Amino acid sequence: MPVEIKNLTHVYMKDTIFQHKALNDVSLTIEDGEFIGLIGHTGSGKSTLIQHLNALLKPSSGNIIIDGVDITAKGVSLKKIRQTVGLVFQYPEHQLFEETVYKDVAFGPQNLGLSREEIDLRVKESLMLVGLDYDALKDVSPFELSGGQKRRVAIAGVLAMKPKVLVLDEPTAGLDPKGRDEILGEIRRLHELQKLTVVLVSHSMEDIANLVDRIIVMSKGKVVLTDTPRNVFMQAEVLKNIGLDVPQVTHLVNELNKKGIKIKDCISVDEAFNELVKYLRSN
Amino acid sequence: MIKDITIGQYMPGETSIHRLDPRIKILATIVYISILFFIKGFFPYLYVLGYLGMVIWLSEISPKTILKSLKPLAVIILLTLVFNIFMTPGEKLPGFGFLPITKEGLYQAGYMGLRLMFLITGASLLTLTTSPIALTDGIEKLLNPFKKIGVPAHELAMMMTIALRFIPTLLDETDKIMKAQMARGADFESGNLFSRAKAMIPLLVPLFISAFRRAEELALAIEARCYRGGENRTRMKQLKLKGIDYSASLITLLLCVAIIFTR
């Protein structure tokens, strides 16, 4: 299920004084089962980009081809696209509306017109995938849950559509460190167990450095870099110029290198720890 | 999609009309609207047209924008025309077959239609050239004398300011929730009236919840900064009548006199 984006341009409020080009000739390919980190400053166009992936926004020009089907063409089934590409918005808990957790998660599958048994199955499965206890929570009002639980319910609501590509817009925004680690861990598990293609939008390098296969860096509506986390973080200067930062530990290692302590570039604390121990032992 | 809606469409500008004291603008609009109902016959409409034309010309607002402000009420104008043409008893005009079109009907329809259009245009000129903040300021000041009989002038103005301030925010929120539900396969655009109304639930419930949440947060933030209503509050921008305000009042008064004399 590769996702191909070809020369995508999007202009908001075209032909008015508020005209604003959010995406400028973006071309990308996302392979099957890839875990992508999409990074960029506020207003870099990342949210606009992901809303094109399930046809919530129509491009001003360009194409998006998912598994050989051009989703920008006329007459494609929107329902099918939105089932294939699951999109979890920022603060997804704000979309909860049903009386019980069960009903809320079942909203998506119901819209797909599935049978009662299938819906039942999917609700159970999705709640399990996000680490919630089905039996304990299914009849609880989603508004009585804690912030982290609400967010999980909302993510389960998208997972219940059984998407093949899962796109998450800053899923850790506003969570405490524990909640953040839990959610990221669950997303990693989803990727590994379900073989989902995952696109994770974030502006925190720390969050995604150890998680993703490839990072796409956006700035001012354009793709600036696209490479493995290690290679992207090597370009500390480029990142700095567009207002992004490398993870703290990479920064530390860079500074050490400048001071003459020659160790390998690192993107995680564990890695840096081992390198430093190696360095100290060798001296 | 929903972002294209403009409400209370203020067109920023630096013209003399924009700079008029909001109190004068509000009063002039009220007077203008009332005087429209004093008009008998078509001739006085020329005065109104002159007055309105001058305001539009001075405000540098494009005629296109003015026409756009008439659009939402096109249905009402059309209904007025149709009812007046067909429902007015009088001398039946030949050449329309079985349709009961009378001379008086046509006259009445034209007369009422013009009145409606002048009314809407005048009222929208007020909102087009006055920022919401200035507007509420003006309303508060105008209501001040009524405080003695228990009209909560400041509170009313504050409520209006907040309501206006939150229109764009809530539109943004609506757009976001709509998209989030559409990503879960919700369909807001097809189906019959009943199923469409039902499709609004996943939109309205989160919207209300977020509106309440915002209201609560705002109330806390205001209180945290020691807001206690209008008592003893001073303003940074004091409203003061200037020469231009007096001339505007005079011109509006002239219009009234001219129209009353035609009766």
What is the 8-class DSSP label of residue A85?
E
Candidate from A51, A94, A108 with C-beta closest to B184: A108
- Chain B residues in contact with A96 by the CB 8 A cut-off are 206
Domain boundaries along the sequence of chain B: 2-130+239-261, 153-224
Q: Which of A114-123, B124-133, B213-222 has the lowest mean pLDDT?
A: B124-133
Contacts of residue A33, Cβ cutoff 8 Å, sequence gap at least 6 = A191, A195, A196, A197
Candidate from A88, A95, A161 with C-beta closest to B185: A161
- At residue B191, does pLDDT exceed 80? no
pLDDT mean over B231-258:
88
- At residue B218, does pLDDT exceed 90? yes
Position B74 confidence tier, pLDDT thresholds 50, 70, 90: confident
What is the 8-class DSSP label of residue B92?
B
Distance CA A71, CA A53 (A): 8
Q: What's the confidence (pLDDT) of residue A52? A: 93
Topology, domain A1-76+164-228: Rossmann fold (3.40.50)
Q: What's the confidence (pLDDT) of residue B8? A: 55
Candidate from B182, B201, B210 with C-beta closest to A56: B182
For B44-71, how does the pLDDT look when each residue is reduced to its tens digit (9 = 90+)? 899 999 999 999 999 988 888 888 878 8
pLDDT mean over B71-95:
82
For A64-113, how does the pLDDT look when each residue is reduced to its tens digit (9 = 90+)? 998 888 888 888 888 888 899 999 999 999 999 999 999 999 999 999 99
- Chain B residues in contact with A112 by the CB 8 A cut-off are 185
CA-nearest residue of chain A to B201?
Answer: A97
> Which of A11, A18, A94, A153 would you mutate first to test chain B, the one with the most B CBs within 10 A?
A94
- At residue B80, does pLDDT exceed 50? yes
B187 by Cβ neighbours in 10 Å (0-12 / 13-18 / 19+) ranks as middle
Position B7 confidence tier, pLDDT thresholds 50, 70, 90: very low
Residue written as tokens 């109304």?
B197
Number of neighbouring beta carbons within 10 Å of residue A240: 11
Where is pLDDT greater, at B98 or A218?
A: A218
Distance from CA of B74 to the nearest CA of A (A): 24
Q: Which of A62-76, A183-197, A253-267 has the lowest mean pLDDT?
A: A253-267
Q: What's the confidence (pLDDT) of residue B101? A: 80
Two structure tokens written together for B118: 């002048």
Domain boundaries along the sequence of chain A: 1-76+164-228, 97-162
- Chain B residues in contact with A143 by the CB 8 A cut-off are 209
Distance from CA of A164 to the nearest CA of B (A): 14
Secondary element (H or E) of residue A201: strand A197-202
Q: What's the confidence (pLDDT) of residue B3? A: 46
Number of neighbouring beta carbons within 10 Å of residue A16: 9
pLDDT mean over A143-149:
90
Distance from CA of B70 to the nearest CA of A (A): 20
B15 touching A (Cβ < 8 Å): no
CA distances from A56 to A104, A173, B1, B73, B113 (A): 21, 22, 10, 31, 42
- At residue B35, does pLDDT exceed 90? yes
pLDDT mean over B186-206:
86
pLDDT mean over B224-231:
83
**Chain A: residues touching B (Cβ < 8 Å):** 13, 51, 54, 56, 79, 82-83, 86-89, 92, 94-97, 107-108, 111-112, 143, 157-158, 161
For B140-152, how does the pLDDT look when each residue is reduced to its tens digit (9 = 90+)? 889 888 888 888 8
Where is pLDDT greater, at A106 or A244?
A: A106
Position B160 confidence tier, pLDDT thresholds 50, 70, 90: confident
Q: What's the confidence (pLDDT) of residue A208? A: 84
Residue written as tokens 């539009």?
B56
Position A10 confidence tier, pLDDT thresholds 50, 70, 90: very high
If you average pLDDT over every residue of chain A, what do you get? Answer: 89
Distance CA B151, CA B162 (A): 19
